[in-house]
Amino acid sequence: MVEPYRFSVTESAERIRDGRLTPTELVESLLSRIAELEPRLDAWVTVDTEGALKSAKTLTREAAARNLRGPLHGIPVGIKDIFNTKGLRTTMGSPLFSNYVPESDARIVERLREAGAIILGKTETTEFAYLDPAPTKNPWNIEYTPGGSSSGSAAAVASRMCPLAFGTQTGGSITRPASFCGVPAIKPTHGLLSNEGVYPQSWTLDHIGFMARSVGDLSTTLQALTGMESMKPMRKPRIGLPATYFNEVGAADVIRNYSETAEKLRRNGANVVELELPESFRVVHPSHRIIMFAEAAAVHESKFRESPSSYRPNIQGEVYSGLIIPSSTYLRAQRIRGIFRREMLSAMYGIDALLTPATITPPLKGLTSTGDAAFNVPWSFTGLPTVNIPSGLNEEGLPLGVQLIGRPYGEVSLLGVASWCEKVLHFTVEPPLD
């Protein structure tokens, strides 16, 4: 018999709907899985055993009475520890918030509860969702980073400790850990999912997104949260490949996998075309950094002036840098952002999605760095939606991924392309944990 912790969102929902599985059975199975693996992986700050079981019992009774709240009814979810959760400690990965217990839920957590999801607990994050690493290890090899800042969410989904987990991305904090841990993920269009009640890193760059076991799971979850129509796999999509930059700066095994992936999609019927990046791409990365640093400094200024030593080195450097950025420089960066977004959308005319490597390197050995967000920054800068798809393993047996980029609010179409690609790539390998 297959243990319930192995079921995806879609599989769990189907079994709950037809009575073959109860939310209580699913939660109990996942709690056992957490008890087994958490000492090795450190994916969770807090596991809400009592609260999750209480919610599961209520949702089990509702399911027995055929009173289902939707496709997420009874689905356990991990929540990055910068989302406010009513009555449940929310630390931001910082000693400044080590005992903070919010009085209300973040809007997205509230929406999840309304949809019937069960909050299983809070997943590890880098400090204030920046670069200083969380203690989480990569399930594929505990000597390697899982990426960040949504470290715990990616590791928890990859290791089958939960079927769905939420994170945030300001630079590459959903796509990179999802790629490093070998799981699908979506970063929707900026603002599609509310970040009310989520501790900000950079107001105009922060995205809410999530990781799951399949592209179908991503579609089901987005549909439940937004009311969007369900995606339909697209036959023979037209996919654009950037002609420069990504192939020039990516690590050798990343680029090899990217080239092989593009060729496999082409052989299976995709119309793969080369695409020129606009001239404004040259200043995307410094402009993104200016905006992120200036807004982070505004977020942290008062607490930082009171106690700078309470901040770890990377976030200290970010705030110090942001405090000295002139307003004219910040505004110029925002203007460049608008120009690049317009030019990028023009460059993407006539294609269904843009395809790039998901990360500049494979997962890095050691837990002192979460990796480089360079390949994700342009799409956080523009706010365009992205989907990560696992696409292979390197020689060390570590996951590699590709990302698909779509148009604003084009998630249904983008997920359709991603679903087609997922079927072609057929990545079914799991971390060697059992």
| pLDDT tens per residue, range 4-36 | 999 999 999 999 999 999 999 999 999 999 999
pLDDT score at 25: 98
Whether 107 is in a domain gets the answer: yes
Whole-angstrom distance, CA of residue 73 vs CA of residue 63: 8
CA distances from 47 to 58, 101, 163, 213, 385 (A): 19, 14, 15, 20, 30
pLDDT score at 233: 80
What CATH number is associated with residue 105? 3.90.1300.10
Whether 236 is in a domain gets the answer: no
- Residue ranges in the chain whose pLDDT is less than 70: none
Q: Which of 149, 151, 202, 380 is catalytic?
A: 149
Q: Do 364 and 151 touch, CB atoms closer than 8 A?
A: no
Query: Does residue 365 carry a catalytic annotation?
Result: no
pLDDT score at 230: 87
Q: Which of 423, 416, 365 is closest to 394 using CA atoms? A: 365
Query: Does residue 259 carry a catalytic annotation?
Result: no
Look up the pTM and report it: 0.98
Beta-bridged to residue 79, according to DSSP, are: 122, 166
Q: Which of 29, 80, 159, 187 is catalytic?
A: 80
Whole-angstrom distance, CA of residue 83 vs CA of residue 161: 19
pLDDT score at 1: 81
pLDDT score at 169: 98
Please give the structure tokens belonging to residue 118: 């069960």
Q: Token match 């609260």: residue?
A: 51
246: number of CA atoms within 13 Å, CB side?
27
Q: Which of 8, 94, 173, 413 is catalytic?
A: 173
Whether 260 is in a domain gets the answer: no
- Sequence-distant (6+) residues with CB within 8 A of 393 are 399, 400, 429
Whether 203 is in a domain gets the answer: yes
Please give the structure tokens belonging to residue 10: 């879609």
Burial status of residue 393 (CB atoms within 10 A of its CB: 0-12, 13-18, 19 or more):
middle
Distance of CA 52 to the CA centre of its chain: 22
- Sequence-distant (6+) residues with CB within 8 A of 36 are none
Q: At what angle do helices 284-306 and 327-347 cross, to 10 degrees?
A: 140
CA distances from 193 to 129, 205, 425 (A): 18, 13, 29
Whether 430 is in a domain gets the answer: no
Whether 329 is in a domain gets the answer: no
Whole-angstrom distance, CA of residue 121 vs CA of residue 88: 8
Query: Does residue 423 carry a catalytic annotation?
Result: no
Q: How far apart are the first and last CA of the chain?
A: 16
Whether 149 is in a domain gets the answer: yes
The domain total for the chain is 1
Whether 376 is in a domain gets the answer: no
Q: Which domain holds residue 215?
A: 4-226
Task: Please calculate the CA angle 32-34-38 and round it to the nearest 5 degrees.
Answer: 140
Q: What is the DSSP secondary structure assignment for residue 203, as one 8-state letter?
A: T
